[in-house]
Amino acid sequence: MTNIEKILEDINRDPRVIVAAHRTWDPDLEKKTLKTNEKICENLHMIANDPSLAFYRLQEHVGKSLPPMIEKRKQVYHIQSDLQGATFDADYAVGSVRGMLGASSSFSNIQELLRNAIFFHQQDRYVRTRRRQQQQQQPRPRSLSQERPSQASGRTGIYNRLSQLSLELDLPDFASDFRHRASQALAQASNITHPQSQHDSH
């Protein structure tokens, strides 16, 4: 093997051997050659491998970041709806407060009516208590409702006494006496009718 073949083989293995073997080359040319060689190797590596790797990394990134992004989007929509409801409630409350400020005259009238009602209630209570005190000081006449129980009690006492007397008395037999008198009355009536019939026959 000649020296030229050895040099070419060393160059194929490592381009830097050229610098070690041939110090007579231009150093600027050496730097440019090395940079060009590195860029060519890098471009070849990117052309050969980076497209598939880039797509894989994009797929992995999308697979990892898309679900949290969807959840955040849902949360943002929910917060937006809550904010819209809160703003609507705030606007409604502000309108109510403004309406209450416009109804201050009505509230003042209600307050005045409440004061009058409290005053009249106190006056009514005072009149009732005074009337009650006057009635307690005056003697009360006996009412019919108070007399009725005494009369009823007297009547019940009389009825009890009469019932006791009727039970204790020995009453005669009125039925036989009535029969005897009835027979006498019939006999007298027959005697009156028979002489008239005998007189008519003569």
Residue 37 within a domain: yes
Length of the chain: 202
Residue 130 within a domain: yes
- Which tens digit of pLDDT belongs to each residue from 47-92? 676 667 667 777 888 888 889 999 999 999 999 999 999 999 999 9
Residue 43 within a domain: yes
Q: What is the pLDDT of residue 17?
A: 52
Residue 184 within a domain: no
What is the total count of domains within the chain? 1
Q: State the DSSP H helix or E strand holding residue 37, giving kind and residue range, or none if neither.
A: helix 27-102
Q: What is the pLDDT of residue 171?
A: 47
CA-nearest of 31, 28, 1, 2 to 16 is 31
Below-50 pLDDT ranges, the chain: 147, 149-152, 162, 165-171, 196-202
Residue 16 within a domain: no
CA distances from 172 to 88, 155, 169, 178, 190 (A): 107, 28, 10, 12, 30
Range of the domain at 34: 27-134
Residue 6 within a domain: no
What is the spatial distance between Cα 20 and Cα 30, in angstroms, rounded to a whole number? 11
Residue 189 within a domain: no
Residue 9 within a domain: no
Q: Which residues touch 21 (CB under 8 Å, ≥6 apart)? A: 7, 10
| pTM to 2 decimal places | 0.29
Q: 27-102 and 104-137 helices cross at what angle (nearest 10)?
A: 40
